Amino acid sequence: MTNGINEDMEKVVQSLKANRFTHVEFVKDGSTAAKLVLGMIPQDAQVGIGGSTSVRQIGILEQLRKRGTVIINDAESSEITFDDLMRRTLRSDVLLASSNAVTLDGKLVNIDGMGNRVAGMVFGPKKVILVIGQNKVVRDTDEAIDRIKNVIAPCHARYYGTKTPCATTGHCTDCNSPSRICRITTIIEKKPMFTDVVILLVGEDLGLGWDPDWTAERRERIASVYRETRKRYAPASRRLLE
């Protein structure tokens, strides 16, 4: 391990750069990530949030609000529909989001229900900043999709009381439920042509996701922080898969 970065994270950094993501950094913790993000966003920018627990977890939203930066998602009210709000984030100056998984060969793998998050990661906002915790690193796209469908999605479904089979069984049955939250799968293999993407890899667990072989203590810690973060930001945090 060099400068706090382990072998897997170093490999991911180099793979992302090889895949034409020109701005990739490893930072030791969420606090450091928040400072970097704050410095990347002009005070007068319009910022959208891609339903990300990871972004909320590092405390950047409070820092942006404190200095007067407009967070589009804060506009939610009876006069603005949720659909309108999501469309506004696609026209933001900066989109803050995370990724469900990042592979060792530098691919970003995500599954959405509505598609606003993955759409914004590819095209729309002028700049996209992705904050990705060490727990999101996987070997390959097969492992990424398996982890999203059999760890992340069931946890989301249970937390929000979604009436899907995975909420009960804890694993994917490739259901056709009206409430299904796994509807759109994206694999970003190279940096999108016309989108400025910044990727911050963080040397701590952020958001939801784990290897089932990890210790029960670590898995429960990740799940517990996820639940507390979602509660703290409710009701603004809607049913977005991240």
Please report the domains of the chain, with CATH numbers, ordered by start residue.
Answer: 7-233 (3.40.50.10420)
Residue 215 has φ and ψ, to the nearest 5°, of -65, 150
3 pLDDT tier (thresholds 50, 70, 90): low
Compute the distance between CA of residue 48 and CA of residue 81 in angstroms, rounded to an integer.
Answer: 15
Q: What does R_g of the chain's alpha carbons equal in angstroms?
A: 17
pLDDT of residue 220: 97
Q: Which two tokens stand for residue 79?
A: 């006069």
Q: What is the pLDDT of residues 222-234, one digit of tens each?
A: 999 999 998 888 6
Does residue 52 surpass a pLDDT of 60?
Answer: yes
pLDDT of residue 9: 97
With 0-12 / 13-18 / 19 or more C-beta atoms within 10 angstroms meaning exposed / middle / buried, residue 119 is buried
The chain-wide mean pLDDT, for the chain, equals: 93
Residue % of the chain over a pLDDT of 90: 85
Average pLDDT for 185-201:
98
78 Rama sector, left if φ>0, alpha if ψ -120 to 50, beta otherwise:
alpha
First vs last Cα of the chain: how many Å apart?
A: 28
Amino acid at 231: K
With 0-12 / 13-18 / 19 or more C-beta atoms within 10 angstroms meaning exposed / middle / buried, residue 72 is buried
pLDDT of residue 240: 38
